Amino acid sequence: MLRTPTGGAGHGTAPAEDRPMSIGTVLLRLRDEFPEVTISKIRFLEAEGLVEPQRTPSGYRKFRAADVERLAQVLRMQRDHYLPLKVIREHLDALARGEQPPLPTGSLKDPVDAGTDAQPFRATAPRIGRAELLAAAEVTESDLAEWESYGLVTPTAEGGYDAEMVTVAKLVADLGRFGLEPRHLRAMRAAADREAGLIEQVVAPLRRHRNPQTRAHAEATARELAELSVRLHSALVQTALRVRLH
């Protein structure tokens, strides 16, 4: 249950439930039911259009009780039904318009049987063979062997490749057309490994939780952190380029 601020409403003041709240206060109200929530998570949900707090002239966020309840609904639908944020947003927007839409189908009750929305990094992710990777990425055997020697493309322990390696191979090939060789890209691989390790540390307590729903929520949190990490990396590269090119 969400925590309610104490204290009555004096003459000329708004009731406690109507008073604007800082993001820190919102965090405290949500943590009773969602102990894993963070300020970064709230900001991420805002950036994804799930909640729109007011802003003071100086830029500080001010949340209302309705904003807190909407955030709680989002977190419940993620935790209990493993729904993508886009589906959650559309569902809540329909409710706000006075409609009565059914809960979106495809909710997942058992995280062990969940698809990639619930466990995007699970061990049973789609795999492809070496020939399939070569054909899909349109690269040669010698290219692939060189990329593997630099750790840019890696097979799984069981053999074969994650389907995501097709994207990696295509990007490495595209960069090669600009003269960037595999040895130049090792730093990117090292940075990705460090970022993955940092995300793993953040979600590790959730993954060890006894509640299977909390463990499944760790996967969604890892995906969101990965998305934020990619966006931050892109912004930092663009900023560095502007400094160097102007």
User: What would the pLDDT profile of 4-50 be if each residue is shown by its tens digit?
Assistant: 554 444 444 555 556 889 989 999 999 888 887 888 888 888 888 89
What's the CATH fold of domain 16-107?
Multidrug-efflux Transporter Regulator; Chain: A; Domain 2 (1.10.1660)
Retrieve residue 93's tokens: 């927007």
The sign one gets for the Cα dihedral 11, 14, 17, 22 is negative
Residue with tokens 């990705």: 192
Domain boundaries, the chain: 16-107, 127-245
The amino acid at 44: F
pLDDT at 3: 53
pTM comes to 0.49
| Closest residue by Cα to residue 121 from 200, 202, 42, 234 | 200
The amino acid at 102: P
d(CA 169, CA 153): 7
Could you give the 3-state DSSP secondary structure of residue 128?
strand
| Common-topology check for domains 16-107 and 127-245 | yes
d(CA 83, CA 74): 9
Other C-beta atoms lying within 10 Å of the C-beta of residue 241: 10
Task: Give 237's contacts (C-beta < 8 A, 6+ positions apart).
Answer: none
Q: Are 218 and 206 a contacting pair, CB within 8 Å?
A: yes
| Closest residue by Cα to residue 84 from 115, 124, 129, 41 | 115
What's the CATH fold of domain 127-245?
Multidrug-efflux Transporter Regulator; Chain: A; Domain 2 (1.10.1660)
114-159 pLDDT, tens digit per residue, is 333 333 344 345 688 888 888 888 889 999 999 999 999 999 888 8
